[in-house]
Amino acid sequence: MTAVRSLPHAADTPPHTATRTRILRGLTVITLIAVAVGLFTALVTAGMDAEQGNVQRIFYVHVSAFAGAFIALGATVIGGLAYLRTRNIKWDTFALAGVEVGFALALVNLITGSIWARPIWNTWWTWDPRLTSAAIMVLTYAAYLMLRSGIENAETRRRFASVYGILAYVTVIITLIIIRIRPDTIHPAVIGASPQNAEGGFGLTPSMITAMTVNMVVWSVFIPITLMWWRIRIENLAQRVQAKRLQVLEAEK
């Protein structure tokens, strides 16, 4: 058996420093506390909506989860553009983390919307333009993950995923604006005016505005950053394990 040789590999990066680990753990604790505070403001301190009752409280998570998905999937676009320009694997990892976190948050948005619709619309689902566009968005990124896992060549996979991730963001933009451009949607605009409500969304009281603001910060800042950081860390560790595996296989030849 020949001596083990060190093979060049993108995963051959220095281990995570103790400082970065402490920062990530601290951020995780802060995020968990922030989620608890956000839920408390939504479920306890915010006033009850006069027309919809307590079910309206789900909108603080529903809207904020979409905002988080918007940010995370936007990070995928940045990562994809950077990878196509530099061919640096770290940007592909960044883009993958954005898709996985954004996909999860988009599912939260879809599920909470369905829970709200049951008592308000008397149905779990209807093919409203907004709901349809949200479902297409989720399926588009589910396809990204499946297609990515089906391409064996690493360089081809990263290049394909970068282009796909950039183009897929069109579904996010459409989902964001569709309630403001389609007069036939019955989905309410929580924030801002829409064809259905020229006065601008719900009439939010100060306590409702506070709850919405807190949850928007939690779900669109703390949660995406924390989850993406953990996902990038896991992927980097997986790449280093794969590098060591290749070293052993090469040494046994």
* Per-residue pLDDT, 162: 96
3-state secondary structure of 53: strand
What pTM was estimated for this model as a whole? 0.85
Rounded to an integer, what distance in angstroms lies between the CA atom of residue 116 and that of residue 128?
A: 14
The position carrying tokens 């451009």 is 181
CB 90 within 8 A of CB 158: no
Question: Residue 196's Cα: distance from chain center in Å?
Answer: 28
> How far apart are the C-alpha atoms of 69 and 227, rounded to whole Å?
12
For the chain, domains (ranges, CATH) are: 21-251 (1.20.120)
- Looking at residue 151, its amino acid is I
pLDDT at 187: 77
Distance CA 4, CA 248 (A): 7
> How much is the pLDDT for 91?
96
pLDDT at 14: 52
pLDDT at position 190, please?
Answer: 66
Task: Name the nearest CA neighbour of 145 among 132, 133, 157, 128.
Answer: 157
| pLDDT < 50 regions, the chain | 1-13, 198
